[in-house]
Amino acid sequence: MKRKIILGAVMAIIIALAAFIYFRFYFVFGEGVKAGDLNFVVYKGYVFKTYEGRMIQAGFRGAQKGTANNTIQSYEFDFSIVDEMIADSLMHCGGKTVELHYKEYLGALPWRGKQKYIVDGIVSVR
């Protein structure tokens, strides 16, 4: 009887751990397209070499309470790239305006890249 309880508890812990790992690192939380000026794409890492990139998205921010001026604001979109062909294509697009398709995960894996946003396609380059 004791053995069945221990076995059941161990199985429940294993299933809970597997579910946690799946939802944290493999479940696609969201996906979409972002556009902006490609700042850089680099290949770096100590143990796991990954492709990392940054895109600058510029836009207008409305006047804040108590001020009359609109301001220009930029947002940095940091991402990782798993596909070597996509990374190579983006390395030749520095400074250009690009639209990138990405998937968002809840956590990053060292062999997938430093970011939770993974670019998996190039929609357009201008």
Average pLDDT over residues 92-110: 94
pLDDT band at residue 61 under the 50/70/90 scheme: low
Q: What angle do CA 56, 44, 109 make, to 5 degrees?
A: 85
pLDDT at 86 > cutoff 70: yes
Q: Are 98 and 36 in contact (CB under 8 A)?
A: yes
To the nearest whole percent, how much of the chain has pLDDT over 90? 78
Which amino acid, residue 48? F
pLDDT tens figures, 4-50: 899 999 999 999 999 999 999 999 999 999 999 999 999 999 999 99
The candidate with the shortest Cα–Cα distance to 79, out of 64, 58, 57, is: 57
pLDDT at 63 > cutoff 90: no
Q: What pLDDT is recorded for position 39?
A: 94
- SS3 percent helix, strand, coil of the chain, rounded to 5, is 25, 45, 30
Average pLDDT over residues 76-102: 94
The candidate with the shortest Cα–Cα distance to 23, out of 79, 107, 120, is: 107
Q: What pLDDT is recorded for position 111?
A: 93
Q: What pLDDT is recorded for position 1?
A: 81
Q: Is 114 helix (H, G, I), strand (E, B) or coil?
A: coil
Q: What pLDDT is recorded for position 68?
A: 60
